[in-house]
Amino acid sequence: MVRQLSTSDRVSQPRIAYRAFWRISRIGLILCALTLSIGSSSSFSQSTDFELKIEPLSNIDKQFMTEQRRRVEQLANRLGRNISGMEARDIDTLQRIIDERLIATDDTLSLQAMGVVLGDLLANRLDMDWLVYRDRKGRSRALHYRGTDVYLFPVTMISRRQGVGSDRKIQSVYDEVISTTLPRIPGGKWLL
């Protein structure tokens, strides 16, 4: 005669398998929770480490900006002018390039090239230097006044306004930047 298998609840095989499944599941959940907490804290620490990074222009940046200046110079030549570094004349030339529609309003690269020329004028007037400014939003070429937290982003000053159809004059933009920036730099309020 064959002996009958036990049918008591204590020795039931399905119940043992069920308990083992829950033990493994709990361990898995704990490991997942630990992994997520470690992963989220490390990604959080990475984001705070990358708040702001300032570095000098790379050779590629310098070359690109030189090409942008040449682009504006070619546009100025079409008007019988050149970019001279003289504030009033160059601002007038930039305005004429826009007024005569030598650049389409959606030609962001050329409009940003004009921003580089405008930035050169601002840098000369405010004694600022070009650098690379990195933050969470991205990488930009910016002007910086030494030893302060004064930064300007002239590359997009013209392109953003033209992109939304603004007819504001470049001289007005330039004057506003000068009047709001000078008081923020050491000794600048005396130059107003």
Residue 136 scores a pLDDT above 60: yes
Is the backbone of residue 3 left (phi > 0), alpha (psi -120 to 50) or beta? beta
Beta bridge partners of 52: 135
- Tokens 């409009």 locate to 111
Q: How far apart are CA 191 and CA 134, in angstroms?
A: 30
Separation of first and last alpha carbons in the chain: 112
* Least-confidence region, from 47-61, 73-87, 162-176: 47-61
Burial-class residue 93 by CB neighbours within 10 Å (0-12, 13-18, 19+).
buried
Is residue 46 pLDDT above 80, yes or no?
no
Q: Give domain 52-191's CATH architecture.
A: Up-down Bundle (1.20)
pLDDT at residue 45, rounded to an integer: 36
pTM assigned to the model: 0.72
- Range 9-25 average pLDDT: 55
Vertex 159: Cα angle to 70 and 103 (nearest 5): 55
Least confident of 6-20, 29-43, 150-164: 29-43
User: 99: which strand partners?
Assistant: none
Mean pLDDT (whole number) for 112-117: 98
